[in-house]
Homo-oligomer: A and B are copies of this chain.
């Protein structure tokens, strides 16, 4: 029951009101794969890095038993690099530097050993690359989860709509749901988006939690109220990784299971924002995660 995570594997340099970093490991696939690895034992990345990425950074995946056969290493080239500065409210940020480097002509090659995977997360990347990867799978996975962002809605909407037709679950944030659907009400937005292909839609609302739509039902998950958000980078990718990692581990795909997946994703994301980059999520135990999930439970449970 293997789980493929497609996405960027990269370097980030981050600046928040709490401090700044040099180049550290980032990228959607990095966050998602590490998050998923706590819940599922057969996680496999597809991505590309430059020669600069280095063995010590690849070891961050292999030490979590993540298969990196699908990470292409381009000799003499550089890894994707993004640098950004968050504003005081931590909800808005400025991009300082974007160097596409090896991601510019990324051709997602699927190792033979990855074929037959039953779960795939198409992490945030160009819809064209997501589509190519999907088309190269000889067997359709049981569950295809797509993560994307407003950037692709702005420059590659037609491609994005093609991918949307082929996936089971879409995860986006509230503003992106409004942009994609042209509806302000999230309930109406969900109706429009579920007609574009996915059977389930997860709308991430940051500090306000997440909504899961599907099977004519709605589930509302809280976010953990935090005194500080130290660095929000990668929280969405971590959420998606936790979500699909949970589903792959239980291998049950009904609404109840999706709800639990949203809670596990939210719990992992709540760790992610406590430190810079992957620093917090690379040092978790399953005990930490279960304890956090229990916090989510006590946060919302009531008896009437």
Q: How large is the interface on A (under 10, 10 to 19, 20 to 34, 35 or more residues)?
A: 35 or more
Residues of B within 8 A of A114 (CB): none
On whether the beta carbons of B88 and A219 are closer than 8 Å, the reply is no
On whether the beta carbons of A89 and B184 are closer than 8 Å, the reply is yes
Residues of B within 8 A of A100 (CB): none
Give Cα A100–Cα B248 distance, bound, in whole angstroms: 62
On whether the beta carbons of B218 and A220 are closer than 8 Å, the reply is no
Give chain B nearest CB distance to A304 CB in angstroms: 5
Which among A209, A218, A300, A301 has the greatest number of chain B C-beta atoms within 10 A?
A300
Copies in the complex: 2
Q: Which of B225, B297, B303 contacts A211 (CB 8 A)?
A: B225
On whether the beta carbons of B299 and A88 are closer than 8 Å, the reply is no
Give Cα A257–Cα B304 distance, bound, in whole angstroms: 9
Give chain B nearest CB distance to A193 CB in angstroms: 14
Identify which of residues 256-304 in chain A touch chain B, using a CB-to-CB cut-off of 8 Å: 256, 259-260, 263-264, 293, 297, 299-304
Residues of B within 8 A of A226 (CB): 185, 187
Give chain B nearest CB distance to A292 CB in angstroms: 11
Spell out A's residues near B (CB within 8 Å).
88-89, 184-188, 205, 207-209, 211, 218-223, 225-229, 256, 259-260, 263-264, 293, 297, 299-304
